[in-house]
């Protein structure tokens, strides 16, 4: 098992031109599987509001909920650098609120960094969190917590003015101290330009292959999100279908009486037939 990454080893990977893999993860059992696969970083994304809690967006997720999921992931993936997402309204109100909540996420989960959405608008928050000793991953482009402002989950950085805005956001979060930045739903040439301009690590999702690394939502990439399949998602396996089939087979075998078979029982611990007959007669 390779040694757990730090912000230094991740930045060295960018310097060497090595791509960085990131997956979202929300629970202990999946975290163990991601850890076993040597994925470089885990994001405990507030996308858990959709994947784990069934909401239609990420806005209802609370700090306390993030902490419960985050702790389970850190326990399951002790060898992976874990980033905790800051949920909606846990950092926007004030710099003090942002530092307090970033501190809680690190202290109460054991994760290694926090992520927050927004560009120049949150640079004071990023600087203060970094100054308090917590590495920050920024998130620009399509930021799902602002979907209402964008009028939906829409590609950002289209057109010259918007492209300039996304680049300026990237420069602002880097100047504030972010070591990593998610570029979500940004056109690929703009993402490539940003990735070559900044020293921080760019992690793309729907932003093309030129970013320094990639992130996908775990459930999406293993076929567990039903019919939801944005253009940038690739199914690397069909685990959802395999699970439904397993549940169908179980249901059928229980009903047919073929499960459990003798090998699934503790037959050797049974008393003698004579004694069981005696019990039957006694009661
Ligand atoms: O919440 C999340 O999972 C994210 C990723 C999609 C980048 O922010």
Which three-class secondary structure state does DSSP give residue 151? coil
Residue 151: its pLDDT value, please? 86
C-alpha closest to that of 118 among 154, 69, 172, 160: 172
Residue 252 CA: distances (Å) to CA of 244, 259, 265: 12, 9, 19
Residue 127 CA: distances (Å) to CA of 18, 23, 212: 27, 26, 23
Taking 60 as the threshold, does the pLDDT of residue 1 lie above it?
Answer: no
Catalytic positions, please?
Answer: 184
Pocket of ligand 1 (CB under 6 A): 24, 43, 45-47, 85, 139, 182, 184, 205, 215, 217
Q: Which residues pair with 43 in a beta bridge?
A: 24, 83
Ligand 1 closest atom vs CA 24: 3
pLDDT tens digits, 186-210: 999 999 999 999 999 999 999 999 9
Contact assessment for residue 103 and residue 55, using Cβ atoms and an 8 Å cutoff: no
Q: Which residues pair with 26 in a beta bridge?
A: none
Distance CA 50, CA 73 (A): 17
Contact assessment for residue 25 and residue 218, using Cβ atoms and an 8 Å cutoff: yes
pLDDT tens digits, 260-278: 999 999 999 999 999 999 9
Which three-class secondary structure state does DSSP give residue 216? strand
Residue to mutate, 20, 23, 24, 220, ligand 1, most ligand atoms under 8 Å from C-beta:
24
Taking 90 as the threshold, does the pLDDT of residue 6 lie above it?
Answer: yes
- In this prediction, residues 85-89 reach a mean pLDDT of 98
Taking 70 as the threshold, does the pLDDT of residue 145 lie above it?
Answer: yes
C-alpha closest to that of 233 among 47, 53, 49: 47
Helix (H) or strand (E) holding 153: none
C-alpha closest to that of 141 among 156, 159, 119, 152: 156
Helix (H) or strand (E) holding 5: none
Residue 158: its pLDDT value, please? 87
CB atoms inside a 10 Å sphere around CB 6:
13
pLDDT tens digits, 7-26: 999 999 999 999 999 999 99
Ligand 1 midpoint to CA 40 (Å) = 16
């Amino acid at each position: 098992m390779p040694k757990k990454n730090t912000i230094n080893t991740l930045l060295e990977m960018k310097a060497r031109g090595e791509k960085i893999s990131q997956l979202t993860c929300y629970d202990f059992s999946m975290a163990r599987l991601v850890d076993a696969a040597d994925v470089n970083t885990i994001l405990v994304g507030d996308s858990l509001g959709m994947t784990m809690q069934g909401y239609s967006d990420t806005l209802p997720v609370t700090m306390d909920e993030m902490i419960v999921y985050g702790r389970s992931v850190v326990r399951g993936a002790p060898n992976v650098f874990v980033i905790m997402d800051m949920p909606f309204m846990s950092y926007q109100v004030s710099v003090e609120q942002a530092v307090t909540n970033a501190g809680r996420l690190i202290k109460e989960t054991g994760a290694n960094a926090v992520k927050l959405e927004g560009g120049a608008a949150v640079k004071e928050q990023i600087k203060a969190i970094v100054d308090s000793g917590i590495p920050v991953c920024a998130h620009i482009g399509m930021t799902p917590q602002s979907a209402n402002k964008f009028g939906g989950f829409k590609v950002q950085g289209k057109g010259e003015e918007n492209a300039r805005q996304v680049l300026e956001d990237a420069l602002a979060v880097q100047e504030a101290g972010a070591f990593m930045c998610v570029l979500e739903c940004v056109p690929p040439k703009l993402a490539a330009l940003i990735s070559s301009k900044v020293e921080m690590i760019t992690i793309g999702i729907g932003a093309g292959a030129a970013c320094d690394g990639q992130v996908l939502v775990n459930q999406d990439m293993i076929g567990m999100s039903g019919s939801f399949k944005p253009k940038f998602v690739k199914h690397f396996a069909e685990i959802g279908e395999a699970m439904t089939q397993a549940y169908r087979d179980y249901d059928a075998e229980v009903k047919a009486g073929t499960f459990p078979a003798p090998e699934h029982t503790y037959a050797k611990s049974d008393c003698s037939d004579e004694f069981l007959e005696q019990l039957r007669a006694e009661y």
